[in-house]
Structure 1
Amino acid sequence: MTITQYQKPHLPGILALCEAEDWPSLPADPVRAHAVFTAPGVTTVVALDGEQVIGFAYLQSDGHIQAHLSQLAVHTNYRRKGIGRALVEYAAPLTGAQRIDLVTDTAEDFYATFEHRTFAGYRIYPG
């Protein structure tokens, strides 16, 4: 396994992972997805098995204090092998931030394995 920063050839593999997770926003518009993954303040990293994308992490940051882990996915055949942790640990210093916040409704046990503090959170959908 190799972890590296996102490049455009990784996009189809990331979108396939999103579709497998039933996350429709990025696959709905691949051009927009590429723009999201390369936007200022964004860190996107991928885990590769050869050329196959087997995981990715997408974070947004102010570059100094705060980062937000927006999405993390690992292919079902590769889970529980340390790939998710490796993605977060590789991406974190690239953000320049001191901390990473996130919201999860499916992976509490995984994120609890990191040094952390737990807070309540909300996702707001403007008008």
Structure 2
Amino acid sequence: MITYTSDLSTVTAEHLTGFFVGWPNAPRPETLLRLLQGSYRVVLALEGERVVGFANAVSDGVLSAYVPLLEVLPEYQGRGVGSQIVRRLARDLSHLYMVDVLCDEDVVPFYERLGLRRATGVMLRNYERQSGE
């Protein structure tokens, strides 16, 4: 049974393995834990103590937030886990004017099904720093 929480108090780096499939320079579990701990809001999907999915938001806490990551372990994809994470995170951020997600074109329909609207954006990426190290 999948449960959802924002509580990171019992999560360790060992609970955060298997994410970032296909990334050429993925963050290590220890880096991911630091990233989640430093976030404005986090939603975790758990099966027992195992983290099977997560999303995080960074925010000014007043007007805007950005959702940089949504990750679901491959064996849990297609089961509604990512949708539930996004819905819960959107609810947690509903007091803000704007919540932005910058994503690859192939996942835009996923977010549109959840009520987000397509927008134009720009980005700057330093792929040498993709791991967060």
Please give the TM-score of this superposition, normalised by the length of structure 1.
Answer: 0.78
3-state secondary structure, aligned to 2:118? coil
Maintained 8 Å contact 2:15/2:49:
no
Q: What's 2:81 paired with?
A: 83
Kindly tell me: are residues 75 and 84 of structure 1, through their superposed partners in 2, closer, same or farther at Cα, counting changes over 3 Å?
Answer: same
Kindly tell me: are residues 104 and 23 of structure 1, through their superposed partners in 2, closer, same or farther at Cα, counting changes over 3 Å?
Answer: farther
Separation of aligned partners in 1, 2:25 and 2:14: 14
Q: What's 1:4 paired with?
A: 5
Structure 1's unaligned 5+ residue stretches are: none
3-state secondary structure, aligned to 1:107? helix
Maintained 8 Å contact 2:65/2:99:
yes
Separation of aligned partners in 1, 2:14 and 2:3: 17
Q: Percent identity?
A: 23
Separation of aligned partners in 2, 1:71 and 1:123: 15
Residue by residue, what CA displacement relative to the aligned partner does 1:55-93 show, whole Å, maximum 9, x if unpaired?
A: 010111122321111000111111122111111121223
Kindly tell me: are residues 4 and 13 of structure 1, through their superposed partners in 2, closer, same or farther at Cα, counting changes over 3 Å?
Answer: same
Separation of aligned partners in 2, 1:97 and 1:112: 19
Maintained 8 Å contact 1:55/1:75:
yes
Q: What's 2:99 paired with?
A: 100
Give the partner amino acid of 2:122. Y
Confirm or deny that 1:33 pairs with 2:35: no
Maintained 8 Å contact 1:70/1:102:
yes
Separation of aligned partners in 2, 1:73 and 1:114: 16
Separation of aligned partners in 1, 2:115 and 2:96: 15
> How do residues 39-54 of structure 1 correspond to structure 2 at under 5 angstroms?
39=38, 42-54=40-52
Q: What's 2:131 paired with?
A: none
Maintained 8 Å contact 2:108/2:118:
no
Aligned length: 122
Separation of aligned partners in 1, 2:96 and 2:34: 21
Please give the TM-score of this superposition, normalised by the length of structure 2.
Answer: 0.75
1:103, CA displacement in angstroms? 1.0
User: Considering only aligned residues, what root-mean-square deviation do their CA atoms show, in Å?
Assistant: 2.4
